[in-house]
Amino acid sequence: MPRRSLPDISIRQLEYLVAVADAPSWAAAAGEIGVSPSALSQGLAELERRVGIQLFESVGRRRKLRATVTPVLDHARHVVALTRDVVSWADRLRLADTGRVSLGMIDVAAVVHFPDVLRGFRSEHGDVDLRLTVAPSRSLLDDLQRGALDLVVCVEPPQPMTGIEFVPLLIEPMIVYGPPGVPIDGPASWGPWVLFPEASHSRRLVIDRLRELGASTEVAAESHQPDVLREMVLLGLGWTVLPRSQGESERGELAVGEQILERQLVVARRAGAVTDPAVDELARRLTR
């Protein structure tokens, strides 16, 4: 049986699809990529025709992506991000503007584990424009997937991500901490908790492990900032689970419990991306 020929899908049509998925409305998506709403609609209708499946469904007066077309959207994100990499690389080569790295890190990576790597890289490569974003893992990986970041150091996500490759960096023990003076007994006595927000990779690891141990999973408060979590525990608002480097501080001693799990930190990159040599050099230093 002859192989079906590939549909003639344009990168522009895939860019339209990503824009509609990420923007709050079709009008906003059109404005983001600089086309009229009618041109956006026509381009996506043509994409549907060429792919051969219905990508959108009507919900009231709005058109929304069908939940079943996630593989198409993942493919679109990957292709658009890689195309942006090539365009960015070509622009830098044409303008002799080589040496630019957009790096994303979770706070503990930037402040505790890799500050010497960053200082050394900047000292030896003063001509490189190093731009650092510190944010939670999920936000960083979303930015990496859409092409806004070149490298990310974060907590390993629970599932693989389309178009992203991960290299292990280090393992962090995660420790239970209680309010000062509170006895650390068995898991049944732990909680309530002050934890990272629900979308956090670390939060998911912690909640799954607490369930395995038979501990309460009631969450009284949450924050992306480990220092804020520590302060809430010091105030007696609940217990927390943090890496030792973030759970212990000169600003007050928490009751220190046991290690209940480990989390893997990784460096993440877009698979197959055309990158600046400076990106490759920083990735080597991080994984050394």
Average pLDDT, the chain: 89
Please give the residue that has the higher pLDDT: either 253 or 151: 151
**pLDDT surpasses 70 at 78:** yes
- Is there a contact between 208 and 262 (Cβ–Cβ < 8 Å)? no
Instruction: Report d(CA 83, CA 79) in Å as an integer.
Output: 6
11-35 pLDDT per residue, tens: 899 899 999 998 888 889 999 889 9
Please give the residue that has the higher pLDDT: either 220 or 82: 220
Instruction: Report d(CA 54, CA 248) in Å as an integer.
Output: 53
- Is there a contact between 279 and 88 (Cβ–Cβ < 8 Å)? no
Identify which of 82-91, 219-228, 243-252 has the greatest average pLDDT.
219-228
Q: How confident is the model at residue 96 (pLDDT cuts 50, 70, 90)?
A: very low
pLDDT number for residue 176: 96
Q: How confident is the model at residue 100 (pLDDT cuts 50, 70, 90)?
A: confident
pLDDT number for residue 204: 94
- Is there a contact between 82 and 273 (Cβ–Cβ < 8 Å)? yes
**pLDDT surpasses 80 at 200:** yes
168 bridge partner residues: 266
pLDDT number for residue 252: 64
Q: How confident is the model at residue 93 (pLDDT cuts 50, 70, 90)?
A: low
**pLDDT surpasses 90 at 153:** yes
**pLDDT surpasses 80 at 84:** yes
pLDDT number for residue 81: 86
131 bridge partner residues: 102
Q: How confident is the model at residue 63 (pLDDT cuts 50, 70, 90)?
A: confident
Residue owning tokens 């309460």:
216
**pLDDT surpasses 70 at 97:** no
Q: How confident is the model at residue 284 (pLDDT cuts 50, 70, 90)?
A: very high
**With pLDDT > 70 as the criterion, what percentage of the chain qualifies?**
94
Instruction: Report d(CA 202, CA 83) in Å as an integer.
Output: 32
**pLDDT surpasses 80 at 98:** no
**pLDDT surpasses 60 at 83:** yes
pLDDT number for residue 137: 95
Coil, strand or helix at 103? strand
